[in-house]
Structure 1
Amino acid sequence: MNINKELAFQEFVRRESNLIRAPYTPEQEFYSVIKSGNTTKVKELCQESLLFKKGLGTLSLNYLQNIKYHFAITAALIARYCMEGGMELSTAYGLSDFYIRKADGSTKPEEVALLHPVMCLDYAKRMKNLRKGKVTSRHISACIDYIWDNLHTRITIESLASAVGLNSSYLSRLFKKEVGMTVSQYIRNKKIETARNMLIYSDYSPSQISSVLAFPNQSYFTEIFHKETGMTPSKYRNLNFRNTEIGNEG
């Protein structure tokens, strides 16, 4: 299925099921995508230059200084989100300090704008590597990328093995050896991890999240979510939901 057909199919499913997508706010999506290590999506979101971002507040009447201030805020927020995703505090803040100093030394707004996607991709690549942990095998690395890119589908060991060109039995043994858990356990963990982020940062209902993440039904989703977190999706949202006012710095 080519990308245009896939997009058309997904739109058809949303329309026919009357499932209205309730996305993250643009700012939350931006930082959450970096946190997830989705480098492809980060590149897409960074296509628009920082100089032409709509809604940037006036923090300084000096245009260059204003862009630098917004860059610094972005760097600080990315660091915070990546620390939430597991990045070491020293690494996150070290990168933030490095890029803020680079921006501070710029003499033109264009230089700051060019540094913006470089910084965002640097963080995203590090988060992508972080989620793979100690995995060294090319095939298992490809498996993890495939799983993250297809959390919205029902992933089987057979489809995964076919995607990476291995026998399913061999892949199962290799995955457990390198990752420390079975393929099904890893997929379940990552779907629940994604569901937790969606409950905090989006307006999706638990039933919509269950559907988006391709759980067989909402009851099963609630059961697995409770097993992993000790609470129902609704209770988790009530305890953790926050309306993060972070402006349009991304």
Structure 2
Amino acid sequence: MRQIDYDFIASNISSLSSVAVRVYKENKLIHYYDPSHFPKDPASPYLDTLLAIDGNVNYFISPYEHFYGIVKHQEYTLILGPTFQITPSKKQIREFMFSLDLRMNYMEQYQQLMQSITPLPVEMLLHELCLIYYYISDVKLNLANIKIYDSNAKISSQNQAYTLTDNSDASIPHSSFNDAFNDITWAHNHIGDYMDDTVSYAHTTHDFECAMLACVKEGDIENLQTLIAHTDPGRAGKIAPTYLRQVKNIFITSATLLSRAAIDGGLPVEEALTLSDKYIQHAENYDNPEQVMNLQYHMVIDYTSLVRDIKKGKRYDKFMRSVTSYIREHLTEDFSVDQMAQDLFLSRSYLSTKFKKETGMTLSQYIQEQKIEKAKSLLKTTDRSILEIATYLGFSSQGYFQNVFKKLTGMTPKEYRNQ
């Protein structure tokens, strides 16, 4: 039997691609090459998941849009990554550092390390995975059938939409995700029938679409969710040669309809169309029909929520959108109003006065409120200490954070977490 030098493979792949490569034997790490020399392995939050994914060749998308490739052969597993198509923003890096339990004063160093990773298009990563698998197994695999595990789309490891094994016949079983996404099934045609050109389809989606778009236009989240949960969306006509292309085409059509309905509901034209473009670009990157349909659910909710906020008076003019967007982007930093005014090309006095006039509160009050809302979420969804959360959100001390938290919520962070 041919001996495979996994150490040699890992070392050279890491050098050629500028990505970290790990080799596991029976789930125990035996080789690790990291050209960026991270103080803590960026894959550490996902390693159990990555090792548990089945199939010979897979890739994983983290919540931060980092890509990982997985190659399995016999008792060995190779994990490549992270890599990405676009270098992460400063905000994304800070959030990722928090998930790794890294101190924020390493921010500049960690940002440099992340930027040292060469962005790698998904297609190149997948070709690399197939080449590695061919070298170690003498088996050629089909790129189009690689399994995706996307933590953003919350598609569980039970999803069997794309599984690449030595015996893969490239079949695509049709699975649903009712529990997580309320049976959102605009494109759920039976695949066996779909691929049969002799089957004709009645177009039965019109009533559902009209009701859905009415909810979007009115910003009616409650009725929209009821509609999605309890109404048959009907069956779309066949408009593409493959099921994946069918789902993407329906997604594009839906994005167009939703953006127009949102504009009719009061959403600014440029904002509505820009959001549509971003969703379509994201959908085109998916190779899994379930992911596209999941994204479509989030898109319709997103548009409806934006319209609802406008109708409830929660939306502001261009000035306010710029200010609130800046605050969201820098929420986990200890920034000053002076710095904010400089970055927005405004005078400090104009920024503060206009904001107070528009909202009835000072910038400092608004920033504190937003930080405490974020803190409430972190207290409920993570096990991070109060000090870690305070530091992450840019508070000068735990005591100051606790005082502000109690002032705005009426309870201490610990009381809020335990309630």
Mark yes or no: TM-score above 0.5: yes
| Normalised TM-score (structure 2) | 0.38
Deviation by residue 1:36-67 (Cα, 9 ceiling, x = unmatched): xxxxxxxxx979767x642459xxxxx64x51
Judging by fraction of residues, say which structure has more strand: 2
Query: How many corresponding residue pairs?
Result: 192
Judging by fraction of residues, say which structure has more helix: 1
Provide the C-alpha distance between the structure 2 equivalents of 1:167 and 1:219, rounded to a whole number of angstroms.
Answer: 32
In the alignment, is residue 185 of structure 1 matched against residue 365 of structure 2?
yes
Structure-2 change in CA distance of 1:234 and 1:74 (3 Å):
farther
Provide the C-alpha distance between the structure 1 equivalents of 2:394 and 2:180, rounded to a whole number of angstroms.
Answer: 37
Provide the C-alpha distance between the structure 2 equivalents of 1:159 and 1:3, rounded to a whole number of angstroms.
Answer: 24
In the alignment, is residue 69 of structure 1 matched against residue 69 of structure 2?
no
Structure-2 change in CA distance of 1:237 and 1:5 (3 Å):
closer
Q: How does 1:123-142 map to 2 (within 5 A)?
A: 123-127=301-305, 130=309, 133-142=313-322
| Normalised TM-score (structure 1) | 0.61
Structure 1 unmatched ranges of 5 or more: 20-44, 58-62, 76-89, 240-250
DSSP-derived class of the 1:67 partner:
coil
Q: Does the CA contact (< 8 Å) of 1:71 and 1:100 recur in 2? A: no
The alpha-carbon deviation at position 166 of structure 1 amounts to 1.4
Deviation by residue 1:117-159 (Cα, 9 ceiling, x = unmatched): 1221332355466399444321211110111121110132122
Provide the C-alpha distance between the structure 2 equivalents of 1:197 and 1:49, rounded to a whole number of angstroms.
Answer: 20
Provide the C-alpha distance between the structure 2 equivalents of 1:203 and 1:185, rounded to a whole number of angstroms.
Answer: 27
Structure 1 residue corresponding to 2:221, chosen from 92, 101, 104: 92
Q: Does the CA contact (< 8 Å) of 1:200 and 1:237 recur in 2? A: yes
Provide the C-alpha distance between the structure 2 equivalents of 1:221 and 1:74, rounded to a whole number of angstroms.
Answer: 41
Q: Does the CA contact (< 8 Å) of 2:221 and 2:304 recur in 1? A: no
Matched with 1:161 is: 341
Q: Does the CA contact (< 8 Å) of 1:211 and 1:217 recur in 2? A: yes
Structure 2 residue corresponding to 1:210, chosen from 361, 386, 390: 390
In the alignment, is residue 238 of structure 1 matched against residue 238 of structure 2?
no
Larger-gyration structure (1/2): 2
Identity among equivalent pairs (%): 27
Provide the C-alpha distance between the structure 1 equivalents of 2:374 and 2:97, rounded to a whole number of angstroms.
Answer: 21
Amino acid at match of 1:211: T
Matched with 2:276 is: none
Structure-2 change in CA distance of 1:3 and 1:220 (3 Å):
farther
Provide the C-alpha distance between the structure 1 equivalents of 2:224 and 2:333, rounded to a whole number of angstroms.
Answer: 34
DSSP-derived class of the 2:335 partner:
coil
Matched with 1:116 is: 294
Structure-2 change in CA distance of 1:136 and 1:236 (3 Å):
closer
Q: Which has the higher contact order (CA 8 A, sep 6+)?
A: 1
Q: Does the CA contact (< 8 Å) of 1:139 and 1:164 recur in 2? A: no
Matched with 1:200 is: 380
Structure-2 change in CA distance of 1:98 and 1:173 (3 Å):
same
Q: Does the CA contact (< 8 Å) of 2:182 and 2:228 recur in 1? A: no
Provide the C-alpha distance between the structure 2 equivalents of 1:46 and 1:183, rounded to a whole number of angstroms.
Answer: 37
Alpha-carbon RMSD across the aligned residues, in angstroms, is 4.1
Provide the C-alpha distance between the structure 1 equivalents of 2:394 and 2:355, rounded to a whole number of angstroms.
Answer: 22
Structure 2 unmatched ranges of 5 or more: 1-85, 107-148, 161-172, 185-218, 248-288
Q: Does the CA contact (< 8 Å) of 2:356 and 2:363 recur in 1? A: yes
